[in-house]
Structure 1
Amino acid sequence: MHLLPRRVARTYIDAFEGLPREIWWLSLALLVNRAGTMVLPFLSLYLTRQISMTTSDAGRLVALFGLGSVCGSALGGWLSDRIDPIRVQQITLLLTGGLMLSLIGVQSVPMLGLLFFLVGLVGDAFRPAMMVAVTRCSPPELRTRSFALMRLAANAGMAIGPATGGWLAAYNYDLLFMVDAATCFGAAVVLLLTMPGAPRTDSGSDEDTVVASMAPLRDGPFLLFMLVIFMVAVSFFQIFTVMPLHLRDSYGLAESGVGSIIALNAGLIVVFEMILLRRLEKYEPLRIAAIGALLVGAGLALLPLGPPLAIAIVATGVWTVGEMLILPISTVIVSNRAPGSSTGGYMGLYMVTFGAAFIVAPWAGTAVYEAHGPLTLWASTGVIGLIAALGCLALRPALQGGRPRESYSAKEPSISETRS
């Protein structure tokens, strides 16, 4: 009985041994930042309860955050190919903290819409910069494990943020904005004190930089893969928009219960994701991504079977396993696909895809939920998961081998082969 904890501990030690020091500092900053992720999981509840908006109107307002996210992701990727991505992260964290504080007490719907857009714009410029920094600070053979550590840090923070946010929201929603801002400032301080900058790549002339920034738009298989990711993300973002409403309406959960469900997702990822990925490292990445897409949809499709609460817990376990399979693998696929001079462009477009999904997800999800009910919405996520899984399998021949400028091998590399 005592051997199991030791084996688990040994698995984690082996998984993260030898990672560059810079990756650990980046992951610490991300942990601090995500520990304060409290506003987004409760945004739909905040708008419907505190601002007295209808569900569909709240969905349209939250979609402005997604619009800002699209613009911010493109901006962050563009900037990261031109200036130090560490500086991009520092600046965007400081600005995001200020914007969070500016949301306190705002009741005007137009002003809320503007601020949501700006939070999405500035906040999501951080994400591609972070991914570019990880790519530059880790050699190819360590890149998969580096991204895994970043996801571990992010989800460890998410295990703290929403659960704490649920209790704070029950007392005063303004505290969510304050704590979220404080952790943005804290993460910026970590980077300012520990990271002088990311290694530079030889991007060539200004003309070469412009050409490189357009590379992902000329990569047909990559664009099709982004379409698949978009479909998965539209379903996945229902977790942060409609699922809190459904858990309130159908399961009778208060904010603290909703936060606990989301924290359960993060806790499962922290404990099991790295072990799961190590077990699957000999399998083809796109096959794993296909299973992940299917499980995300299947887990969400279980939600209308409840109450009881056990259904929501089981559903969370299923879509969490799907998340553990598709999200880290898709990030590595994108990172390995991008030539060095175009890393920011590829990562930026990857994050733009998630931002675009966040425009569609709250608007479409709340509209379907209000007009047709939860059964139609959650069944639709199951169908989308199946289509996305088939898309991953169909793209295997085109995406095998990594970068578009390289000749492909006859066999798609496994996860372990992308690390060596």
Structure 2
Amino acid sequence: MVKNYLSNFKGFSREIWILTFITFLNRAGTMVIPFLSKYMKDDLSFSYNQIGWIMVFFGVGSIIGSYLSGKISDKIGFYKVMIFSLFMSGIVFIVLQFLTSFVSLCVGILILTSIADMYRPAMLLALDTYGNKETRTRALTLTRIAINSGFLIGPVLGGLIIMKVGYSGLFWVDGLTCILAILIFSILVKEKKLPFKLKKIKSDINSNKIILNDKPFLLHLLITMITGILFFQMFTTLPLYHKEQFNFTEFETGLLLSLSGLIIILFELPLVRYIEEKNIDRIKIISLGILCMSISLLLMLVSDWNGILIVMVCLMSIGVMLTFPFANSFAMSRVHMDLKGRYIAVFTMSYSFAHILSAKTSMGIIQAYSYQANWIFMGTLGSTALVLCYWLSIMLKEERENIELKIKKSLFSQKEAS
């Protein structure tokens, strides 16, 4: 069993392993994110409405960062973008602890995420450059294991740091680990350049038109955004719910979040490999994942037994394993060769929009109605995503049939001409 498990990690280049390590280091260091809503509620005494607005700025910054990353990566390359993003976000993390008013924190969060979220599209391009077609989905999964390994360690350490030092300690650790990660990357990985310079020819390609005409890709973005809205409940409403409904400490919340990381570390890569080997329809897999995520949030309606939180985390983790890796690989499969950066940027922006909508919508529902109303809304939203998945599968089937028909027509026309 161990031998079979370890075989999932074969075939990756040295650069992919280094990317995986710095992603782990970066994720483990980003301890403040799961506790951000609690920090604003407990230490800064912000209202639910104010927390919701700050999370909106978090998402807006993420959109700006993703957009800039795609555009700049296509011009100067992903390597420089990654170095700038991690180094500068490390500096901003350290400064963020000194911003305590509502307006200053809105501005600080906007700047932070605008810089920090330039990393993800550039990192996805790096995986595509240093990897190959055969290992693409597994390489994406490997970096997700790194993220979740950091997610396993980060919240527990974060909870301990808060209890012993306070929230200021988190900001210092977050900032310094970002800087350390990019120093390791710049020393061990060199920018991959072409052995000769290509002469650029001016193209009439209209990037916006190509992306807007790719209807399956656009529908997939909408599904991905809903998936993100469901998942981000783990970082926005649930830490507050743990405290208010079950009186959990930061350390206990950290342990629950770490359980999710542990499940994903152990099972995601073998699961992805099994699905790829059996060639199971990706949209069906994503649909099953969304169903698990929706049920996990509806389980929060059971509010008198804290054991339900463990069941919820397990189901949410299964949903994440079935949706996120294949959402990434589907987006990569639709990429136009001349527009890689922009395609990936648009894809990652769907998660940015999800962050805005997840936080603001949920905080608004909770303040106006209750946590229970929020869980029902999220379950309904997940059901909508399932309908969209069914629509996407029909759209892809029609696309395949049209391609086959064009090929047949082309062959017959050639025969008639001869």
TM over 0.5: yes
In structure 2, the partner of 1:145 is 138
Q: CA RMSD in A?
A: 2.2
Native 8 Å contact 1:295 1:321 kept in 2:
yes
**In the alignment, structure 1 residue 271 sits paired with structure 2 residue 261:** no
In structure 2, the partner of 1:182 is 176
Does the residue aligned with 2:11 lie in a helix, a strand or coil? coil
Question: Quick one: distance in 2 between partners of 1:272 and 1:14?
Answer: 13
Question: Quick one: distance in 1 between partners of 2:138 and 2:52?
Answer: 36
**Equivalences, count:** 401
In structure 1, the partner of 2:302 is 305
Which whole-Å deviations, capped at 9, do the CAs of 1:148-194 have from their partners, x for residues lacking one?
Answer: 11111111111111111111122310011111111101110121011
Task: Answer with 199-208 or 72-81: which moved more.
Answer: 199-208
**In the alignment, structure 1 residue 50 sits paired with structure 2 residue 47:** no
Native 8 Å contact 1:203 1:209 kept in 2:
no
Aligned letter for 2:249?
Answer: A
Name which of 343, 354, 367 aligns with 1:357.
354
Native 8 Å contact 1:20 1:138 kept in 2:
yes
Bigger-Rg structure (1/2): 2
Task: Answer with 322-331 or 188-197: which moved more.
Answer: 188-197
Deviation, structure 1 residue 219? 1.3
Deviation, structure 1 residue 397? 3.7
Deviation, structure 1 residue 211? 3.2
Does the residue aligned with 1:208 lie in a helix, a strand or coil? coil
Native 8 Å contact 1:86 1:197 kept in 2:
yes
Q: TM-score, normalised by structure 1?
A: 0.90
Aligned letter for 1:54?
Answer: S
Task: Answer with 134-143 or 93-102: which moved more.
Answer: 134-143
In structure 1, the partner of 2:150 is 157
Does the residue aligned with 2:75 lie in a helix, a strand or coil? coil
Name which of 217, 238, 244 aligns with 1:243.
238
Native 8 Å contact 1:306 1:312 kept in 2:
no
Question: Quick one: distance in 1 between partners of 2:312 and 2:112?
Answer: 30
In structure 1, the partner of 2:383 is 386
Question: Quick one: distance in 2 between partners of 1:357 and 1:203?
Answer: 38
Aligned letter for 1:10?
Answer: K
Name which of 369, 373, 392 aligns with 1:372.
369
C-alpha distance 352-238 of structure 1, shift in aligned 2 (>3 A): same
Native 8 Å contact 1:136 1:200 kept in 2:
no
Aligned letter for 1:195?
Answer: V
Aligned letter for 2:390?
Answer: L
Which whole-Å deviations, capped at 9, do the CAs of 1:39-67 have from their partners, x for residues lacking one?
Answer: 11111101111111112211111211111
Unaligned runs of 5+ in 1: 1-6, 411-420
Task: Answer with 256-265 or 208-217: which moved more.
Answer: 208-217
Question: Quick one: distance in 1 between partners of 2:198 and 2:380?
Answer: 42
Name which of 310, 327, 330 aligns with 1:330.
327
Name which of 182, 190, 196 aligns with 1:196.
190
Question: Quick one: distance in 2 between partners of 1:352 and 1:133?
Answer: 18
Question: Quick one: distance in 1 between partners of 2:20 and 2:236?
Answer: 27
Percent identity, please: 29
Does the residue aligned with 2:98 lie in a helix, a strand or coil? coil
Which whole-Å deviations, capped at 9, do the CAs of 1:182-214 have from their partners, x for residues lacking one?
Answer: 110111012101111145699974743963475
